[in-house]
Amino acid sequence: MSTKYLPILLWVFVGAVAAAIPFGVLIGDPVLRQLLAPFSLHIANEKAIYSPAAYFVLLTACYLLERKMPVNPRDFLSASFRYDLLWYFGNVCFNLAFLGYFALWLNAFYQHYLSFLSIGGVGDWHPMARFALGVLLTDFTRWLSHLIRHKVPAFWAFHAVHHSQTELNIFTDARVHPVDTMVSTAIRFLPMMMFGNPVPVIMAWLVFETVYPKFYHANVRINLGPLRYLLVTPQSHRVHHGLDRIYRDKNFGFTFSVWDRLFGTQFADDTVYPATGIEGKAFPHESGTTPRSQLRSFARQLIYPFRSIAQPGVSSA
């Protein structure tokens, strides 16, 4: 077989495994099955929420875009790409072990202690109205919390892990510290609950918010034209990951770019594609290309935020 087909075969394997494992989590975890049960009496119909085939198609589309119109051309399965795959599978394991239970705990906590935040009379509203308002409030609170995580040193210590990638790719969205994941999950759940959205509906939105960031983290030279005034794009989010602070203090949006435009945090130039990553010798940047060295870097980055907070004079973003 010609070696020119090797990257294609490798991608089919990597993409298929990456797409199949989360579905296995959904149908294999009894807690998540309980969360998703209201959608259907049959577990097979949970594909309406998460389809491995659809996810694989999306991953493949992003992969092809990266090959056809990259910001920085690079070899397939580069060391940085493999390292983000490690974070991806690590986060899948974390989600399987904890996130379903955390979602249930959030729901119970809200019902017992924060139910006074619920908007009165929303039960009579059309479900789509509750969903749309919940999405808008969720996206705004995520934008605000994202800005705060850049400004408060202790929060930045965890969020810096995500910004450490120098070669953005479709799996960079998974380079997130578990503590950062839990904070983000809470912020996404609570505003949706205020408008009376049931947990399964919230979970469905979480799936979308898991999929779309893969596109805008991709190594793709595209800004979506007029859609950039509404949505976060690969270009605008790359600016946010920029190595220079003039970029990193801009473009905090998650799904919609409207909040950055309303509050003056949108970077004006929508044609720039800066180098990405973070500076500083204190951060344990990944080193080496062997599985052993990458596992060592993975462990160090998991520990880094706690060590950083424990030390005086933690630097801000």
Residue tagged 């990405």 (tokens):
276
Give me the pLDDT at residue 4, please.
Answer: 56
Query: Global pTM?
Result: 0.82
Concatenated DSSP letters of the chain: --GGGHHHHHHHHHHHHHHHHHHHHHHH-HHHHHHHGGG-SSGGGGGGT--HHHHHHHHHHHHHHHHHS-SS---TT-HHHHHHHHHHHHHHHHIIIIIHHHHHHHHHHIIIIIGGGSPTTGGGS-HHHHHHHHHHHHHHHHHHHHHHHHHSHHHHHHHHHHHT-SS--TTGGG---HHHHHHHHHHHHHHHHHTT--HHHHHHHHHHHHHHHHHHTSS-----GGGGGTB--HHHHHHHTBSSHHHHTS---SSBSHHHHHHT-S-S-SS----B----SSS-----SSHHHHHHHHHHHHHHHHHHHHSSS----
Give me the pLDDT at residue 19, please.
Answer: 55
Q: Quick check: 62 and 218 in contact, CB under 8 A?
A: yes
Give me the pLDDT at residue 267, please.
Answer: 96
Within 8 A by CB and 6+ apart from 134, the residues are: 191, 192, 194, 195, 197, 202, 205
Q: How far apart are the first and last CA of the chain?
A: 49
pLDDT by residue, tens only, the chain of 317 residues: 445 555 555 555 555 555 555 554 444 444 445 444 443 333 333 444 456 677 777 888 888 899 899 999 988 788 898 899 899 888 877 876 777 678 778 888 888 888 888 877 776 788 888 888 989 999 999 999 999 999 999 999 999 999 999 999 999 999 999 999 888 888 877 888 888 887 777 777 877 887 889 999 999 999 999 999 999 999 999 999 999 989 999 999 999 999 999 999 999 999 999 999 998 778 999 888 888 899 999 999 999 999 998 885 555 55
Domain ranges of the chain: 79-310
Give me the pLDDT at residue 15, please.
Answer: 56
Give me the pLDDT at residue 6, please.
Answer: 53
Q: Quick check: 247 and 273 in contact, CB under 8 A?
A: no
pLDDT in tens, 235-249: 999 999 999 989 999
Distance of CA 148 to the CA centre of its chain: 17
